[in-house]
Chains A and B, each alone.
Chain A
C-alpha cells in the first residue's frame, strides 16, 4: 500500500483549460497510471462558458469557437487528465468546494475498497480567484489512507477558504508519502 502527494498552483493560468492542460502534462510526466480518476471542481467550466458566449456574441454565432466549447463542460479537466494518464477505469467529476472534495475521496476510497480500482488519483480544481484556478492532486493506492483523508477533510469542512483546506490535505498527503517512501522507496 503506497501513496503519494502532489501539489501544483498555477498562478498565471487564465482558465481551467490552461491549468488542467498544463497539469495533465505534469502528471503524465510521472509515468504513473491510476485506474480511476476522481476530480473535485469548484470552477466547473463556468469561466469558459462566459468566455465562449461573450466571444460568440462579438464574432457572430457562425464564428463561435468550437475548440473552446467542450471546455464549458465541468468534466473537461477530467477528460484531459484522464487522457494524459490513460485512465480507462471510472472517472468522476464532482462540482462544489469542500463537499465535492469529500465526495471525490468517498468515491475513490469506495472503489479502492471494492477493488474496482487498485490505484486512484484524486484531483482538486479550485478557484483561487476568478482568473487563477489552481489544481492539486493526491495519488492513492490505499483505501485506508483514502478514508483517513476523507475523514480529515470532513473535519476541516467549513473552515477557511477551500484553497487553505487543500493545503492542509496536501500537507498531510505529502507527509504520508514521505513516510511511506522510506518504507517503499520508488513507488511514487
Chain B
C-alpha cells in the first residue's frame, strides 16, 4: 500500500553541476538532444594516463582555484541552487539534515599527501562535504556521509527520505559529490573498466565506463510541510532498495540476483507494483559485465524483454562516482515532470543479447508515474531508489 499522501516525502529543490552543465533543465534537454560531454584532456595526455578521455566540468575558474577544495566548491554550488529552487529560508534550514554520498572524498588532497605535501587527511576525507554544507548554509541537524562508492547518491537520498518519513527530521539536503579524481582515472583504467573513447551503455560493442565529475543535491521535505509553505512539489521519493552481492570486490554476480533483490525491495517497501514502473534509469556503466548483470536483474523482476524501458545516462555526462546516482535522480525527477524518457546517449547498436528494452531516442511517456533510479558499486552494493511523479 502506498503511503497516505500527507506522509509522502517530496522533492522541492534540485541543484547540480556536471560536465553537461549547471542548470538541471538544460542538462536534461541536452541529453534529449543526444549531446555528450566527453573529450580528450591535454593534461591527462601529458601526464601519461592510459585513458585520456573524461567528462570534466569546464569552469576551472570557479571550481579549479584550489584543487583540494574542488569537491566542496561543486557541492556549495549545487546545494545553493537546490535551496534557491526550493525557496528555503534560514529558519527552515536551521534543523535540516545533511546526507551526502561520495566515493573518493577530496581526491586531490590524497594526491598531494602522496607527493609528501603537508596535508590534513581529515580535510580530504569524504565527511568534509557534509561539514562544509553545514558551515556554508547554517544547518545544525544530522550529518551523514555515505561512502558507498558509485551507489552513494542513492544511499544519501533514500536515507534522508527515510529519516523524514520516520519523523526524525523535517527537511533534508541530500545528494552526492565527487570532483574529478586522478586516482580514480588511473585506478579504473588499471582494473580495465574504462572505455578509451565513448561510453556506450548496453551497446553490442561497449568497452567500459568513462569518468565524470559533479555534484547533485535535492531538497526533501514532508509533503504537508511543503504544501503549507507553498513550495513546488517536484517529485515523490519512495523507498530505497538495497542488497549485497557477497561475491567479488569489483565484479557483480553475473546472474544479476543481487541487483534484482534491490529492485524488488524498493517496490515492496513502497507498495508499488512492478507493472506501475514506467522507466528504469539504469546504473548502466557501459562495462560488459555490469550491463549484462543489470539487464538480467531487470528481466528477472519484470520479465524477459517485457519490462519497462531502460536508459543509462552515463554516456552523456560520464560516471560521476559518488554523485552519479544523485545526478541521475535529478534527471529522473525531470523525466517525471516532463513526461519524456531520455535516451541512452552513445549507444549505436543495442546488444540484442540483453533481455531489456533499451531507449535509444527520447520517448514520450504521458503516463509516467514511477521510475527506478539504480546505482550499483564495487564491493557488491546494489541500490534502487523509487521516485514518483508529484501529482
Contact = CB atoms under 8 A, between A and B. Distances in A.
Interface of A: 37, 41-42, 44-46, 49-54, 56-57, 60-62, 64-66, 69-70, 72-76, 78-80, 82-83, 85-96, 99-100, 103, 107, 110, 114, 116, 130
Q: Which 3 A-B pairs have the closest CB atoms?
A: A74-B147, A79-B379, A69-B187
Contact of A95 (B127, B379, B380): B127
A123 to B, nearest CB: 13
A114 B265 CA distance: 12
Given A54-B114, A57-B115, A76 B379 contact: yes
A41 B148 CA distance: 11
Most buried by A among B121, B191, B247, B377: B121
A94 B192 CA distance: 28
25 contacts: A49-B110, A49-B183, A52-B183, A52-B187, A53-B183, A61-B48, A64-B186, A70-B187, A73-B103, A73-B104, A74-B147, A74-B148, A75-B148, A75-B379, A87-B244, A88-B243, A88-B261, A91-B148, A92-B146, A95-B102, A95-B127, A99-B127, A100-B144, A110-B166, A114-B269
B250 interface: yes
B187 A66 contact: yes
A27 B18 CA distance: 41
Contact of A49 (B104, B377, B378): B104
Interface of B: 47-50, 102-105, 107, 110-111, 113-115, 121, 124-127, 143-149, 155, 159, 162, 166, 182-184, 186-188, 190-192, 242-250, 258, 261, 265, 269, 377-381
B125 A82 contact: no
Given A69-B190, A75-B378, A46 B124 contact: yes
Given A49-B183, A88-B245, 18 more contacts: A46-B105, A49-B107, A53-B114, A61-B50, A64-B186, A70-B378, A73-B379, A74-B103, A74-B126, A74-B148, A75-B378, A78-B379, A80-B249, A90-B244, A91-B148, A91-B380, A95-B147, A110-B162
B127 A96 contact: yes
Contacts of B144: 94, 99-100, 103
A96 B105 CA distance: 12
A57 B127 contact: no
Contacts of A103: 144
A79 B245 CA distance: 9
Contacts of A66: 187, 190-192
A74 B381 contact: no
Given A37-B244, A64-B190, A79 B183 contact: no
Nearest to A113: B166
Most buried by A among B50, B147, B183: B147
Nearest to A56: B186
Given A66-B190, A72-B187, A73-B378, A88 B246 contact: yes
Contacts of B265: 116
Contacts of B162: 110
Contacts of A54: 114-115
A132 to B, nearest CB: 14
Contacts of B124: 46
B41 to A, nearest CB: 14
A6 to B, nearest CB: 20
A79 B125 contact: no
A57 B114 contact: yes
A59 to B, nearest CB: 11
Nearest to B155: A92
Given A53-B111, A92-B146, A44 B379 contact: no
Contact of B159 (A53, A107, A130): A107
A42 B114 CA distance: 19
Contact of A70 (B49, B107, B246, B249): B249
A70 B248 CA distance: 11
A112 B114 CA distance: 41
A72 B191 CA distance: 13
Contacts of A95: 102, 105, 125-127, 145-147
Contacts of B126: 44, 74, 95
Nearest to A53: B114
Contacts of B121: 46, 50, 130
Nearest to A97: B127
A87 B381 CA distance: 11
A83 B146 contact: no
A21 to B, nearest CB: 11
Most buried by B among A76, A87, A93, A110: A93
Given A41-B147, A49-B110, A74-B147, A82 B187 contact: no
A79 B378 contact: yes
A90 B384 CA distance: 12
A79 B249 contact: yes
B258 A70 contact: no
Contact of B249 (A76, A114, A116): A76
B103 A61 contact: no
A73 B107 CA distance: 11
